[in-house]
Amino acid sequence: MESARPALPKTDARPLRPAADDGEGAGFLGIQDVAEHLGVTPRALRFYEGKGLIEPGRRGGMRVYSRREVGRLRLILRGKRLGFSIREIKEFLDLYDADPQHLEQVRLLASRVRARLQNLEAQREALDQTIAELRQIDGEAQGWIASHLA
pLDDT value for 92: 87
pLDDT by residue (tens digit) across 35-65? 999 999 999 999 999 999 999 999 988 999 9
| Coil/strand/helix, residue 18 | coil
Alpha-carbon distance of 24 to 144, in angstroms, equals: 76
pLDDT value for 26: 56
**In 23-65, where does DSSP find H-type helix?**
31-38, 42-50
With vertex at residue 95, the alpha carbon angle to CA 90 and CA 98, rounded to the nearest 5 degrees, is 130
**Position 7 confidence tier, pLDDT thresholds 50, 70, 90:** very low
Nearest residue to 93 (alpha-carbon basis) of 60, 120, 68: 68
Statement: residue 139 has pLDDT above 70? yes
Alpha-carbon distance of 105 to 69, in angstroms, equals: 18
Alpha-carbon distance of 70 to 79, in angstroms, equals: 14
- Type of residue at 35: A
pLDDT by residue (tens digit) across 81-112? 999 999 999 998 888 778 778 788 888 889 99
pLDDT by residue (tens digit) across 108-127? 889 999 999 999 999 999 99
pLDDT value for 80: 95
- Type of residue at 140: E
- Type of residue at 150: A
The domain 1-82 is placed in CATH, from the list 3.40.50.10490, 1.10.240.10, 3.40.50.720, 1.10.1660.10, at 1.10.1660.10
**DSSP strand pairing (29-30 vs 57-59):** unpaired
